Amino acid sequence: MSTDDERTAPEAEATTGTESLVSRLWAPPTPSRRGPRPTLSVDRIVDAAIELADAEGIAAVSMARLGKALGVTPMALYRHVSGKDELLARISDTIAVDPPTIPDGIGWRAGLELWMRAQIDMVVQRPWFLDLPLTTVLPGPRRLRWIDQAFRLLEGLPLAGGEKLTLIGAMAQHVLGEARVQAETLAADENPYDDLEATLQRWADPAHYPHLFAAMATAEEPSAPEQDDVGFGLQILLDGVEAYIARKAAERAG
């Protein structure tokens, strides 16, 4: 077990920016043997950063603020994290807590709905996640557990691996949008499309947006389904998946 001691650290492979970031998320921490006892650790840093973001939003997470919160010089953080990008990537992977346990016999459709709802809840509890640059939301160890579970839910369906991955991506994307609407609705006074109508009435020329104004003129029937029901968008997407599966199954049979 001592033949390749030093293999643990990632080699200098002239990696592209993004790829090296991903591999840094996966590389196991190398315990140091010499030198003073570290007062810091990657985990402590990331946890403090998340705490800070929870309290004041992601904009408050700067190296200076974070260092102060940890009672340490800003530059000390760079001993454990290659830069702010890695910090943000680690944050966004770390807040992807373990996926919920989804029972086995529940069926792919109900399972995926739970899967999506759980993710929406995650984002709603941490709205600042939506303010993270998307380039820092990368497949790390925690996030991949969600993807693994999604693959489990899709197991046995007549879909190619690539198709499944595409579907999972589409669902993850949808979750993002749904979570945004949800988060903005909860925060109130912030949803641009809620105030859209008022803004339009004030400024926009109906002649330029005839169909939009026509749709607005159609008063919402009281029997209309709940406007902010998360499930609506989910059902649309799941219906699409179901239709595709049915078509695929028919092809196989035919």
Partner DNA sequence: CACCTTCCGTGTATACCGCAAACAATGCGG
Partner DNA sequence: CCGCATTGTTTGCGGTATACACGGAAGGTG
Residue 26 contact partner, candidates a second copy, DNA, none, CB within 5 to 8 A by sort of partner = a second copy
The verdict on 204 binding a second copy (CB under 8 A) reads yes
Contacts of range 175-180, beta carbons closer than 8 Å, 24 or more positions apart: 175/116, 175/119, 175/120, 175/123, 176/123, 176/130, 177/233, 178/116, 178/120, 178/230, 178/233, 178/234, 179/119, 179/120, 179/122, 179/123, 179/124, 179/130, 180/123, 180/130
Tokens of 153: 């839910």
Please give the torsion angle defined by the CA atoms of residues 10, 145, 172 and 185, in that order, rounded to the nearest 10 degrees: -110
Q: Could you tell me which stretch among 37-45, 69-77, 110-118, 223-231 binds a second copy (CB under 8 A)?
A: 223-231
The verdict on 73 binding DNA (CB under 7 A) reads yes
Q: Could you tell me which stretch among 31-39, 45-53, 120-128, 160-168 binds a second copy (CB under 8 A)?
A: 160-168
Q: Give burial (CB, 10 Å; 0-12/13-18/19+) of 77.
A: buried
User: CA–CA separation, 240 vs 22, rounded Å?
Assistant: 32
Q: Could you tell me which stretch among 36-44, 102-110, 114-122, 214-222 binds a second copy (CB under 8 A)?
A: 214-222
The verdict on 40 binding DNA (CB under 7 A) reads yes
Residue 134 contact partner, candidates a second copy, DNA, none, CB within 5 to 8 A by sort of partner = a second copy
Tokens of 81: 């994290």
Note whether 179 and 124 are within 8 A (CB): yes
CB of 28 to DNA, least distance (A): 14
Residue 36 contact partner, candidates DNA, a second copy, none, CB within 5 to 8 A by sort of partner = DNA
The verdict on 55 binding DNA (CB under 7 A) reads no
Residues with Cβ within 8 Å of 26's Cβ and at least 6 positions away in sequence, in order, are 140, 141
Q: Could you tell me which stretch among 71-79, 101-109, 116-124, 148-156 binds a second copy (CB under 8 A)?
A: 148-156
Amino acid at position 139, single letter:
P
Name which position in 224, 252, 253, 254 contacts a second copy (CB under 8 A).
224
Task: Tell me the per-residue interface mask from 27 to 46 with a second copy, x by CB under 8 A, - otherwise.
Answer: xx------------------
The verdict on 84 binding DNA (CB under 7 A) reads yes
Binding positions for DNA, rule: CB under 7 A: 32-40, 61-65, 67, 72-76, 78-80, 83-85
